[in-house]
Amino acid sequence: MQTLVIFGASGDLTSRKLIPALYRLHIKKRLPEPVRIFGFSRTSMSDDDWRGKLRESTAGFLGTAFDGSEWDAFAPSIHYQPGDIGDSQSFTALESRLAEGESGRVNGGVDGQVTNRLYYLSTAPRFYEQVVHQLGAAGMANESKTASRRVVVEKPFGTDLAGARALSASIHKVFEERQIYRIDHYLGKETVNNVLVLRFANTIFEPVWNRNYIDHIQITANEDVLVGRRAAYYETAGVLRDMFQNHLLQILTFLTMEAPSRFEAKALRDEKVKVLQAIRPMTPEEIARDTFRGQYRTYRDEPGVAADSRTATFAAVKLRIDNWRWKDVPIFLRSGKGMSCRTTQILVQFRQPPHSMFECAGGGSGFPLHETSPHETSPHEANRLLIQVQPAEGIRIHFLTKVPDADMRMRMTELNFNFRESYQGEMPEAYERLLLDAMLGDASLFARSDEVEAAWSIIDPIQSAWDRDAHAPAFYETGTWGPATSEEWIAHHGARWFDSCPVV
Ligand code: BG6
């Protein structure tokens, strides 16, 4: 028997992501059997009240993909337990309700059955420690041969290195590291996982995946949405904590780590930590030169945002990895809200060939050597690999071809792969994969404490330097690619942003 307890059951994440993901897993018949899902929060509700609310929200969220009869089959696994995180009695009551089903009396099971539990911390982060402490005090973290106890911790895991360490230390009083699943939903995205397949299941990419062939890498996660109702959180987080420390750095690890010997939690996480630790710490001068921040012009008008807020809603950071593979290859990370479109993409920009025999070929012929497509202006294009993480999930390779019947004129052309064209069915939501992995005890796609700490060590100095800087970030209009000066910034670093909205 698998039991999932969601703390913070009345929150947005539960209705928007967790329950729809569980419902989809139910439809795909992937949920462990039998499964029980318990919601825990202060609102007083019966099982049926909660089921009714979730039915409505899930139907709204999934639209035509919602099937009422499937929901009716799924709904009996959902239960609700009202309770207060600050009250130990609430945990005693929860424990006896959970144990009641596990003893076999309710479900007609037999003694000795496996009774695994997954506790999901989906509350406001300030309550994480308290929930864990209560679980410990109520004996709810104790394991046995037939009873695993695991805890999923939602992001953010701390707000800086010291906070992340303190949080880990506090959770470690109750749960061992192997029981802790720090979630970053980007690691559940199919296309992020496909980076590993692209690199390590093919032979043609890995030999050129290094400083000898790669000029630089751009990882962009742009969103057209604004901060809106999330101002209270966003004012204290900003784009660095919200997107860089977790999602962008996680993508970076998959792109740049060495090949693990097997797809298994320890091997994978060891390599990720190594590459994070190889990122060169920035000096204050480097932070001033190698980072860029912006704020969309109407951000200060959002309810809850200070009139003189300096919170960055856009940032670009140039990182360097000090190892043999990546020495001196700039890795540009960029993310912003209020951008022209939603796109998460990885651009691997290859170097020019060391020598071009065509350099003179166009010279006397009257033909320009390269023909560029309308959105490209540089006369000297080199190969690019574009991984479209979302939406329009796919991969594109840019390479030069000879324009027919035009002397030796060349044009940058594309080879396209698109998941939706090559595979049937909807792309699964990241939470489906991650919830299932956590229930099955596979921590490969969850962050270990040293990984999270290494990531904060990269972000902390930048965030502190920005906090000390009295200058306002560069403003930009919503619906653009960020401040125009970010283009000058990257040009100064010898590159050019690859800006293209995905064709969905
Ligand atoms: C969250 C951030 O972690 O990721 C949000 O807090 C952001 O600000 C979201 O919008 C982006 O996730 P996705 O899956 O929509 O790219």
- The answer to whether the pTM exceeds 0.85 is yes
Distance 245 CA to ligand 1 centre (A): 12
What per-residue confidence (pLDDT) applies to 112? 66
On the 0-12 / 13-18 / 19+ scale of CB atoms within 10 A, 129 is middle
- Closest ligand 1 atom to residue 186 Cα is 14
Atom of ligand 1 nearest to the CA of 342: 16
Pocket test residue of 12, 242, 346 for ligand 1, highest count of atoms within 8 A of CB: 242
Q: How sure is the predictor about 364, in pLDDT bands with cuts at 50, 70 and 90? A: very low
Considering the domain delimited by 187-353+417-427+447-492, tell me its CATH architecture.
2-Layer Sandwich (3.30)
Residue 37, number of CB atoms within 10 A of its CB: 27
Give me the torsion for CA of 398, 404, 406, 408, rounded to 10°. Answer: 50
Exposed/middle/buried for 59, CB within 10 Å: 0-12, 13-18, 19+? middle
Residue whose CA is at the smallest distance from ligand 1 atom 2 = 242
Q: Using CA atoms, how far apart are residues 84 and 387, in angstroms rounded to an integer?
A: 45
Q: What atom in ligand 1 is closest to the CA of residue 225? A: 10
Is 459 in contact with 45 (CB distance < 8 Å)? no
**Average pLDDT, integer, range 298-327:** 97
List alpha helices for 28-179, DSSP H. Answer: 47-62, 68-74, 88-102, 128-137, 161-172
- Collapsing DSSP to helix, strand or coil, 140 comes out as coil
Q: Is 471 a catalytic residue?
A: no
Confidence label for 356 from pLDDT (cuts 50, 70 and 90): confident
242 in ligand 1 pocket by Cβ < 6 Å? yes
223 touches ligand 1 (CB under 6 Å): yes
Percent of the chain with pLDDT over 70: 94
What is the CA(248)–ligand 1 centre distance, in A? 11
**According to the model, what pLDDT value does residue 171 have?**
98
Domain residue ranges in the chain: 2-154, 187-353+417-427+447-492
pLDDT tens, position by position, 236-278 = 999 999 999 999 999 999 999 999 999 999 999 999 999 999 9
d(CA 229, CA 124): 15
Is 50 exceeded by the pLDDT of residue 441?
yes
Q: Is the pLDDT of residue 126 over 60?
A: yes
Cα of 441 vs centre of ligand 1, distance in Å, is 25
Counting ligand 1 atoms within 8 A of each CB, the residue from 235, 243, 429 with the most, and so the one to mutate, is 243
> 185, 216, 247, 398: which is the annotated catalytic residue?
247
223 alpha carbon to ligand 1 midpoint, in Å? 9
Domain 2-154: CATH superfamily is: NAD(P)-binding Rossmann-like Domain (3.40.50.720)
Strand partners of residue 153: 121, 182
Ligand 1 atom closest to 234 (CA): 8
To test ligand 1's pocket by mutation, which of 17, 246, 247, 250 has the most ligand atoms within 8 angstroms of CB?
247
Contact 411, 403 (CB under 8 A): yes
